[in-house]
């Protein structure tokens, strides 16, 4: 598990390979990732948006931006945790993801950026 704390918000990430398949004569590799967001600050915060950078060994980086996470914009009081899972398809057997969340602090009404630590996406047999 990869973890990082930014401005009192702890992000923990774990990824898992789910399988490979051919589509249009190209290999595709499916991964799940599990995210835990823990508010270790003293303020109430809300996650507003996400920004992902997906790296593949054979292709240019992909960027994914959007509101919230899996259709939610969770509000976290001090000590609260929000977990979710999502997925990613890549055509290379190795890659990585990193990103940021944009959050708002309800006490100051200021938006701030929380780093999502970089984590690997690798097909298990590729390393042998």
Mean pLDDT of all residues in the chain?
95
What's the confidence (pLDDT) of residue 26? 87
Looking at residue 127, its pLDDT comes to 59
Mean pLDDT on 66-76 = 96
d(CA 105, CA 56): 34
Place of tokens 């929380």: 114
Closest CA to 65 of 99, 30, 116, 104: 99
Residue 128 has pLDDT above 60, yes or no: no
Determine the Cα–Cα distance for residues 115 and 99; give it in Å rounded to an integer: 6
Identify any residues that bridge with 41 across adjacent strands, giving them in sequence order.
Answer: none
Distances (CA, A) of 118 to 4, 59, 104: 10, 18, 22
* Ordered structural domains, the chain, with CATH: 2-121 (2.60.40.1470)
Per-residue pLDDT tens over the stretch 12-40: 999 999 999 998 888 999 999 999 999 99
Question: Hey, how many other C-beta atoms are within 10 angstroms of the C-beta on 47?
Answer: 22
pLDDT at 58: 78
Q: Is 71 exposed, middle or buried (0-12, 13-18, 19+ CB in 10 A)?
A: exposed
Cα separation, 61 vs 40, whole angstroms: 32
What is the reported pTM?
0.92
Q: Is residue 78 over pLDDT 60?
A: yes
Residue 89 pLDDT exceeds 80: yes
DSSP 8-state class, residue 1? -
Q: Taking residues 82-102, report their average pLDDT.
A: 96
Give the per-residue pLDDT at 96: 96
């Amino acid at each position: 598990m990869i973890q990082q704390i930014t401005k009192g918000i702890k992000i923990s990430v774990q990824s898992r390979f789910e399988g490979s398949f051919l589509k249009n004569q190209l290999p595709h590799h499916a991964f799940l990732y599990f995210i835990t967001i823990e508010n270790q600050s003293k303020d109430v915060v809300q996650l507003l948006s996400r920004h992902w950078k997906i790296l593949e060994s054979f292709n240019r980086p992909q960027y994914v931006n959007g509101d919230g996470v899996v259709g939610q914009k969770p509000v976290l009081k001090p000590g609260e945790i929000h977990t979710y899972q999502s997925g990613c398809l890549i055509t290379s057997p190795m890659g990585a993801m990193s990103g940021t969340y944009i959050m708002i602090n309800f006490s100051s009404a200021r938006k701030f950026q929380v780093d999502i630590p970089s984590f690997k996406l690798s097909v298990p047999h590729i390393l042998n």
